[in-house]
Amino acid sequence: MIVSEALQIRRSCRAFKPDPVDRDTLLAVLGAALCTPSWANSQPWELFVAGGDVLKEINQAYLENQRKGVQPSPDLPRPKNWPASINARRQELFSGLSLAAGEAAKQFGELNQKFFHAPAVIYLGMDKSLTTWSVFDLGAISQSIMLAAVERGLATIPAVTLVHYPEVLRGKLGIPDNFSLVLGIAIGYEDKEHLINNFKSTRRPLAEAVSIKGLE
- Binding residues for ligand FMN, rule: CB under 6 A, are 11-12, 14, 93, 112, 157-161, 183, 201
Q: Strands, E, within the chain: which ranges?
A: 46-51, 120-127, 155-159, 179-188
Please report how close the Cβ of residue 216 comes to ligand FMN at its closest, in angstroms.
32
User: Among 212, 50, 60, 34, which residue's Cα sits nearest to residue 140?
Assistant: 34
Closer residue to ligand FMN, CB minimum distance, 26 or 186: 186
Please report how close the Cβ of residue 198 comes to ligand FMN at its closest, in angstroms.
11
Closer residue to ligand FMN, CB minimum distance, 23 or 152: 152
Please report how close the Cβ of residue 100 comes to ligand FMN at its closest, in angstroms.
11
Q: Yes or no: say if 115 and 25 are a contact pair by the CB < 8 Å rule.
A: no
Please report how close the Cβ of residue 59 comes to ligand FMN at its closest, in angstroms.
15
Closer residue to ligand FMN, CB minimum distance, 33 or 183: 183
Closer residue to ligand FMN, CB minimum distance, 26 or 156: 156
Q: Yes or no: say if 154 and 27 are a contact pair by the CB < 8 Å rule.
A: no
User: Among 47, 29, 32, 14, which residue's Cα sits nearest to residue 153?
Assistant: 29
For residue 184, the cross-strand partners are: 123, 159
Please report how close the Cβ of residue 108 comes to ligand FMN at its closest, in angstroms.
6
Closer residue to ligand FMN, CB minimum distance, 20 or 96: 96
d(C-alpha 60, C-alpha 54), whole Å? 10
User: Among 112, 133, 148, which residue's Cα sits nearest to residue 31?
Assistant: 148
